[in-house]
């Protein structure tokens, strides 16, 4: 068995790090998430998910000297012309909580019948001295009219796929289908292709 690929998740969000680790544990190639390191905050100033993911991965790889996975995720709601998109984490303001972001989303969709939406995750993988690799994962769904379930984080209580919101799914169920899982599987596949 090959030695684990050591990588830093370029995030200070423990929910996101846990989810990345849970998905990578399911892959054939072993990964070792390096924790306990620190780096300066990275302002997400790019207009695209891909740009912000790359910004974070480059900064964290440079600060730590290790490979880094940068991730930026957007919830794209059709009735809102794709918003909140790149501003999903700060939809209700720069320091908004998960609750505040969901409250704003539900308020903007009040009385709207077209509730189709998708989660899109862009992942940038940066290894010092190598070209960055960027992949994405998308999952189509819809926005409920009220919160359902008590698991997950962010918009999970209002993003429904089939019969269930993310927040009604176990971590295992969510990690099999989620946008982030799809992006991470795309990353693993791209790395396997590179390695021949």
At 1 the pLDDT is 42
- CA 98, chain centre distance (Å): 14
Question: Is the Cβ–Cβ distance between 124 and 134 less than 8 Å?
Answer: yes
DSSP 33: E
28 is catalytic: no
At 196 the pLDDT is 63
Q: Which residues does 59 contact at the CB level (< 8 Å), separation at least 6? A: 10, 39, 40, 42
In order along its 196 residues, the chain shows pLDDT tens digits of 456 789 999 998 888 888 899 888 888 777 889 988 888 888 889 999 999 999 999 999 999 999 999 999 999 999 999 999 999 999 999 999 999 999 999 999 999 999 999 999 999 999 998 999 999 999 999 999 999 999 989 999 999 999 999 999 998 999 899 999 999 999 999 988 877 6
Long-range contact pairs involving 165-174 (C-beta distance under 8 Å, separation at least 24): 171/19, 171/22
Long-range contact pairs involving 172-176 (C-beta distance under 8 Å, separation at least 24): 175/19, 175/22, 175/23, 175/26
Marked catalytic residue, from 71, 72, 78, 171: 72
């Amino acid at each position: 068995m090959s030695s684990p690929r050591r990588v830093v998740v370029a995030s200070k969000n423990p929910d996101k790090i846990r989810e990345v680790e849970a998905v990578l544990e399911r892959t054939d190639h072993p990964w070792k998430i390096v924790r306990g390191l620190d780096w300066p905050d990275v302002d997400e100033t790019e207009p695209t998910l891909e740009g912000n993911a790359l910004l974070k991965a480059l900064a964290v790889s440079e600060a730590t000297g290790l490979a880094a996975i940068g991730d930026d995720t957007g919830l794209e709601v059709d009735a809102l012309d794709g918003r909140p998109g790149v501003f999903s984490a700060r939809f209700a303001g720069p320091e908004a909580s998960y609750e505040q972001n969901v409250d704003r989303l539900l308020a903007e969709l009040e009385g709207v019948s077209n509730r189709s939406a998708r989660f899109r995750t862009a992942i940038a993988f940066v290894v010092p001295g190598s070209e960055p690799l960027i992949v994405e994962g998308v999952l189509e769904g819809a926005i409920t009219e009220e919160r359902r379930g008590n698991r997950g984080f962010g918009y999970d209580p209002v993003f429904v796929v089939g019969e269930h919101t993310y927040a009604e799914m176990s971590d295992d169920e969510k990690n099999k289908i989620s946008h982030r899982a799809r992006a991470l599987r795309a990353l693993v596949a791209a790395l396997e292709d590179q390695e021949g």
